[in-house]
Amino acid sequence: MELITKSKDLLFTDLPYTYDALEPHIDKMTMEIHHSKHHKAYYDKFMAAIKGTEAEEMSLGQIFASMSKLPVAVRNNGGGFFNHNLYWNTMSPNGGGAPQGDLSEAINNEFGSFEQFKTQFNEAAVNRFGSGWAWLSVKADRKLCACSSPNQDNPLMDLFECPAQPIITLDVWEHAYYLKYQNRRPDYINAFWNVVDWKAANEKYLKALGRL
């Protein structure tokens, strides 16, 4: 829905759970500041950047597909708005455990095991220098891909090195973990696996393959 709605009609929405719902893995104050200040600022700046331009009438899907031709403020803030929405919906207070359904099977087939997939994803997240995101995505050849992006870029953007449809994502900007984990990004990444919503991830995987 979010990818096909005209950008000028997009709304900033509440989280699907309370700010303290992911404790102790992600703390309440981080969630509150991250959503109500950081994410809100990306939304507001995105709306300001598209106002009165052709991008107002385009969906985020169309914007990302022609990202290289649009202003950098649209890239940074449109990416920031979309990426955070996916991040909130990648996680759940009832999350954690092992992947489910067809996604579980694909992870085992393509990475060898859940543990081997986590190792690849964790490496992408730890080694992203500075600020960015880690992704599990589905490429055009329908294979899974664990990778990372700088800044607020995402795999839907036409300038992305490995274009793909995102399934789960992890924000590795310091604002996502500094209050609780300070410089210990690997501890935050390990904690993330306790809250991943594998049911939602499997649904995204099936949708990306056109099977849902």
Q: Least distance (Å) from Mn ion to the CB of residue 175?
A: 5
Q: Which long-range contacts (CB under 8 A, 24 or more apart) does 96-101 make?
A: 96/193, 96/194, 96/195, 96/196, 97/198, 98/198, 99/198, 99/201, 99/202, 100/198, 100/199, 100/201, 100/202, 101/202, 101/205, 101/206
Q: Which stretch binds Mn ion (CB under 5 A): 48-56, 99-107, 151-159, 166-174?
A: 166-174
Q: Does 173 bind Mn ion (CB under 5 A)?
A: yes
Q: Does 153 bind Mn ion (CB under 5 A)?
A: no
Angle at CA 14, nearest 5°, toward 194 and 201?
40
Q: Does 160 bind Mn ion (CB under 5 A)?
A: no
The site map against Mn ion for 72-111 (x = CB under 5 A) is ----------------------------------------
The CA distances from residue 186 to 88, 127, 135, in Å, are 19, 10, 16
Judged by beta carbon, residue 130 or residue 210, the one nearer Mn ion is: 130
Judged by beta carbon, residue 173 or residue 205, the one nearer Mn ion is: 173
Judged by beta carbon, residue 40 or residue 199, the one nearer Mn ion is: 40
Judged by beta carbon, residue 88 or residue 160, the one nearer Mn ion is: 88
- Does a cis peptide bond (omega within 30 degrees of 0) precede residue 24? yes
Q: Which stretch binds Mn ion (CB under 5 A): 63-71, 101-109, 110-118, 171-179?
A: 171-179
Among 82, 135, 171, 198, indicate the residue that binds Mn ion (CB under 5 A).
171
Judged by beta carbon, residue 153 or residue 171, the one nearer Mn ion is: 171
How far is CA 159 from its chain centroid?
17
Decide: residue 206, CB within 10 A, 0-12 exposed, 13-18 middle, 19+ buried.
middle
The residues of the shown chain that bind Mn ion, judged by CB under 5 A, are: 171, 173
